[in-house]
């Protein structure tokens, strides 16, 4: 898809502010890991446009997003509290502390491809419930080129297509699944190309162009709302950072490749568009940067102030109706750990 | 399937007198229970492989699609992970999924969704995303079926935090436990003893009796035989035979495999002072080991013998020609009884 030309600067400025906030939060998180504030993090550096552009298009009051563990940018774009989101990386609670039922942002998912079927199930539920005045609510399933190798992703696409479920399979093809490049991961080189086999449409988009991603996601949402069934968006991007803060990309790719990829920085591309198209002044970019830095600092303070959850929560959330055996274990834990 | 005519197709009368006890096969009882769960809860959905038009390979869902429509009772593509993963999303959307995995061994391809997703989503989401999913699994052996159609998966499931596991032994239990499982707010693995599908028995829809914990099916004072699923009726046969020799066997139907009714076990064994646990699953780290530990913890001072286990072997479930050698048979259970009765402290 070609990058559409935005009509007015306000939306593009909002997108830029989101991109800047996500860039700051993401790079700050890596620092926080180095400083020992959080034990680990999976950076999204380079994928900001794919995440912000798609998340921005969604209506989180009605649609539902199913992330992996690398969707901070989506979470930020749909308004998930960043301290509650980062709580998973602070090892406070797997899945984070935000409420997935009210934010419509599913818990952070550690199993690659694990939540793609959940999105299909949720979307089928929307079909069973019937469309609203403005069509169906839509599930957005996020996964990557690595996850596309999982059998669950095939099952999910096939189920969705058979059932005409309103779900967008949003693939961030970032070139790398930890150390394995796309050409060793995705036969044929494209996940979007598989859509034809399931009889569903697909959009292949420059994932570093935030306006192109936004436009593609809006098209896909319209398709799903109209009852057209599932659709694939493949956003071609690049994971500029390591897989995680424990990873060492120097063992599997060259600095030349990384530097070459840096030339298509999504933040710089958005800035260039604003400057050339609308003549946006320096003061705007300085303001966006300052706001992003202030936000990251507030999140850092929030994280540092985040106390461990009480140990009783290990037991509290296993069931809606706890079993006698679990209550007994909780009582024994309390007696032996708190000496009460 | 004449018995289904008195079951699922007869509407439950509103305001009528309590229905009389019925005689149903376990298949008919399960079918009736599913129909009533769908009637009671408009959010309940049944889906899986061949459960719609066909009514399931065991006909447990017979007639339900015709009665409730293809939106509430539907066939999925043939993929167990898909069925269970979809259940997660439907539960998130406010539905109450009652999926079927066609045979026990076909749950293996869905283990990630059952273990990593269904069992954990309530926890991961801090209670915000409950998983009211009742997964029906035709289970255990005894029907000379192909490979991976005779597995006993209870040890796998009970080891997973966040899952509840139950197995009925007769039509009355099947009817009431499935109605209960289909209304619980947590995930339940409902293990149906497929070898018992066609045995008839009384079902009293109006009087469930207690459905929590274990139940004593036959009282006796010399030892407690502990079993679940299809092994309960076999243990009752064994108790009849033992009675001819003057041995009074108490038979305890565990029913709930997670959570296990440890108090109920202890209450029985503290009286009989001897216990034999019988299961089809392989022996090592089978549920019998957990039961032996629970009984020993609670009854150590009164036990007259170590808890005996009569189980399947640590081998893949064999072909039909050999399954009678594998499943605990009457002779092997009698040998187990003999061992606990003849035990002498060193």
Q: Is pLDDT at B20 greater than 70 in this prediction?
A: yes
- Long-range CB contacts (< 8 A, 24+ apart) of A30-33? A30/A241, A30/A245, A32/A300, A32/A303, A33/A89, A33/A245
What is the predicted pLDDT for the residue at B3?
Answer: 38
Q: Is A339 left (phi over 0), alpha (psi -120 to 50) or beta?
A: left
Measured CA to CA, the distance from residue B122 to residue A72 in angstroms comes to 22
Of A117, A125, A321, which has the smallest distance from its Cβ to B95's Cβ? A125
Of B77, B95, B164, which has the smallest distance from its Cβ to A158's Cβ? B77
Q: Is B96 a catalytic residue?
A: no
DSSP class of A5? P
In tens, the pLDDT along A263-315 reads 899 999 999 999 999 999 999 999 999 999 999 999 999 999 999 999 999 99
Q: Do B161 and A313 touch (CB under 8 A)?
A: no
Q: Is pLDDT at B15 greater than 80 in this prediction?
A: no
Confidence of residue A8 (pLDDT cuts 50, 70, 90): confident
Q: Do A102 and B128 touch (CB under 8 A)?
A: yes
For B24-203, which CATH class? alpha beta
CB pairs under 8 A between A and B: 138
Q: Do B93 and A126 touch (CB under 8 A)?
A: yes
Confidence of residue A239 (pLDDT cuts 50, 70, 90): very high
Of A95, A100, A117, which has the smallest distance from its Cβ to B86's Cβ? A117
Confidence of residue B153 (pLDDT cuts 50, 70, 90): very high
In tens, the pLDDT along B92-115 reads 999 999 999 999 999 999 999 999
Which architecture characterizes domain A9-309 according to CATH?
A: 3-Layer(aba) Sandwich (3.40)
Confidence of residue A145 (pLDDT cuts 50, 70, 90): very high
Cα–Cα distances (Å) from A146 to A53, A111, A184, in that order, read 21, 11, 10
The average pLDDT across A74-92 equals 98
Which chain B residues touch A64 with a CB distance below 8 Å?
Answer: 92
Confidence of residue B1 (pLDDT cuts 50, 70, 90): very low
Which chain A residues touch B116 with a CB distance below 8 Å?
Answer: 111, 114
In tens, the pLDDT along B302-343 reads 999 999 999 999 999 999 999 999 999 999 999 999 999 999
Which ipTM was obtained for this model? 0.96
Residue extents of the structural domains in chain B: 24-203, 215-342
Which of B46, B49, B84, B85 best probes binding to A when mutated, by most A CB atoms within 10 angstroms? B85
What is the predicted pLDDT for the residue at A4?
Answer: 66
What is the predicted pLDDT for the residue at B299?
Answer: 98
Q: Check whether the bond before B259 is cis (ω within 30° of 0).
A: yes
The average pLDDT across A217-224 equals 98
What is the predicted pLDDT for the residue at A2?
Answer: 52
Beta strands in A64-179 (DSSP E): 64-66, 139-144, 167-173, 176-177
Measured CA to CA, the distance from residue A308 to residue A331 in angstroms comes to 20
Mean pLDDT, chain A, integer: 96
Which architecture characterizes domain B215-342 according to CATH?
A: 3-Layer(aba) Sandwich (3.40)
Q: Is pLDDT at A240 greater than 90 in this prediction?
A: yes
Closest by CA to B103, choosing from B125, B78, B123, B127, is B78
Nearest Cα of chain A lies from the Cα of B17 at a distance, in angstroms, of 33
Confidence of residue B19 (pLDDT cuts 50, 70, 90): low
Of A100, A111, A318, which has the smallest distance from its Cβ to B162's Cβ? A318
Measured CA to CA, the distance from residue B170 to residue B251 in angstroms comes to 14
- The backbone torsions φ and ψ at residue B338, rounded to the nearest 5 degrees and listed phi first, read -60, -40
Tell me which of B96, B149, B176, B279 is the catalytic residue: B149
The average pLDDT across B260-266 equals 97
Q: Do A156 and B76 touch (CB under 8 A)?
A: no
The average pLDDT across B127-155 equals 97
Residue extents of the structural domains in chain A: 9-309, 310-340
The strand order across the sheet containing B215-218 reads B215-218, B249-253, B223-227, B275-279, B308-311
Q: Do B116 and A162 touch (CB under 8 A)?
A: no
Which chain B residues touch A158 with a CB distance below 8 Å?
Answer: 77, 79, 82
Nearest Cα of chain B lies from the Cα of A331 at a distance, in angstroms, of 16
Higher pLDDT, B266 or B15: B266
Which of B92, B117, B165 best probes binding to A when mutated, by most A CB atoms within 10 angstroms? B92
Cα–Cα distances (Å) from A270 to A56, A170, A210, A273, in that order, read 15, 21, 7, 5
In tens, the pLDDT along B206-228 reads 999 999 999 999 999 999 999 99
Q: Is pLDDT at A339 greater than 70 in this prediction?
A: no
Nearest Cα of chain B lies from the Cα of A104 at a distance, in angstroms, of 10
Which chain A residues touch B161 with a CB distance below 8 Å?
Answer: 318
Confidence of residue A33 (pLDDT cuts 50, 70, 90): very high
The average pLDDT across B7-14 equals 43
In tens, the pLDDT along B164-188 reads 999 999 999 999 999 999 999 999 9
Q: Do A319 and B95 touch (CB under 8 A)?
A: no
């Amino acid at each position: 898809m070609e990058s559409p030309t935005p009509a007015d600067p306000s939306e593009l400025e909002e997108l830029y502010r989101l991109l800047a906030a996500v860039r700051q939060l993401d790079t700050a998180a890596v620092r926080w890991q180095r400083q020992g504030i959080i034990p680990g993090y999976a950076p999204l550096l380079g994928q900001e446009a794919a995440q912000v552009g798609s998340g921005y298009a969604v209506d989180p009051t009605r649609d539902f997003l199913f992330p992996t563990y690398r969707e901070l940018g989506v979470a930020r774009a749909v308004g998930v509290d960043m301290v509650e989101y980062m709580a998973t990386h602070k090892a406070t609670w797997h899945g984070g502390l935000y409420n997935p039922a009210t934010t419509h942002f599913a818990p952070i998912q550690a199993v690659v491809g694990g939540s793609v079927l959940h999105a299909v199930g949720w979307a089928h539920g929307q079909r069973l419930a019937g469309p609203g005045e403005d069509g169906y609510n839509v599930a957005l399933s996020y996964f990557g080129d690595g996850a596309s190798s999982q059998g669950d992703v095939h099952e999910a696409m096939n189920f969705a297509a058979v059932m005409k479920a309103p779900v967008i399979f949003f693939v961030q093809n970032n070139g790398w699944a930890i150390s394995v490049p796309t050409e060793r991961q995705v036969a044929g080189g494209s996940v979007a190309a598989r859509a034809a086999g399931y009889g569903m449409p697909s959009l292949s988009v420059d994932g570093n162009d935030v306006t192109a991603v936004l436009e593609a996601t809006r098209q896909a949402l319209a398709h799903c709302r109209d009852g057209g069934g599932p659709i694939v968006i493949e956003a071609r991007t690049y994971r500029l950072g390591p897989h995680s803060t424990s990873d060492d990309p120097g063992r599997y790719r060259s600095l030349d490749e990384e530097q070459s990829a840096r030339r298509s920085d999504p933040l710089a591309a958005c800035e260039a568009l604003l400057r050339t198209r609308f003549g946006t002044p320096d003061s705007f970019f300085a303001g966006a940067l300052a706001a992003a830095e202030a936000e990251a600092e507030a999140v850092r303070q929030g994280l540092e102030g985040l106390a461990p959850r009480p140990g009783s929560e290990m037991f509290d959330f296993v069931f809606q109706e706890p079993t006698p055996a679990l209550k007994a274990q909780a009582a024994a834990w309390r007696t032996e750990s708190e000496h009460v | 399937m004449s018995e289904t005519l008195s079951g699922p197709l007869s509407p439950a009368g509103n305001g009528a007198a309590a229905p009389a006890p019925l005689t149903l096969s376990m298949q008919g009882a399960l079918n009736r229970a599913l129909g009533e769960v769908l009637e009671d809860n408009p959010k309940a959905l049944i889906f899986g492989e061949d459960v719609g038009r066909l009514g399931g390979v065991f006909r447990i869902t017979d007639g339900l699609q015709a009665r409730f429509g293809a939106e509430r009772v539907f066939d999925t593509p043939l993929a167990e992970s898909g069925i269970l993963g979809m259940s997660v999303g439907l539960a998130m959307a406010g539905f109450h999924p009652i999926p079927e995995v066609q045979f026990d061994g076909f749950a293996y391809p869905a283990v990630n969704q059952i273990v990593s997703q269904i069992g954990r989503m309530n926890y991961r989401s801090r209670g915000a995303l409950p998983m009211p999913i009742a997964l029906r699994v035709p289970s255990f052996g005894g029907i000379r079926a192909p490979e991976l159609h005779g597995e006993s998966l209870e040890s796998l499931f009970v080891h997973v935090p966040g899952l509840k596991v139950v197995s009925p032994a007769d039509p009355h239990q099947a009817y009431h436990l499935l109605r209960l499982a289909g209304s619980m707010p947590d995930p339940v693995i409902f293990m149906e003893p497929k070898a018992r599908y066609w045995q008839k028995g009384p079902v009293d829809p109006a009087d469930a009796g207690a459905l929590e914990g274990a139940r004593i099916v036959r009282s006796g004072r010399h030892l407690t035989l502990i079993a679940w699923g299809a092994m309960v009726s076999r243990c009752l046969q064994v108790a009849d035979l033992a009675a001819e020799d003057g041995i009074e066997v108490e038979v305890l139907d565990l029913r709930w495999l997670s959570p296990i009714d440890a108090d109920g076990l202890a209450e029985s064994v503290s009286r009989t002072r001897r216990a034999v646990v019988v299961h089809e699953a392989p022996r090592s780290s089978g549920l019998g080991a957990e039961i032996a530990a629970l009984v020993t913890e609670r009854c150590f001072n009164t036990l007259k013998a170590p808890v005996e286990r009569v189980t399947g072997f640590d081998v893949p479930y064999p072909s039909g020609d050999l399954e009678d050698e594998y499943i605990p048979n009457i002779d092997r259970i009698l040998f187990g009884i003999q061992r606990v009765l003849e035990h002498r402290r060193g």
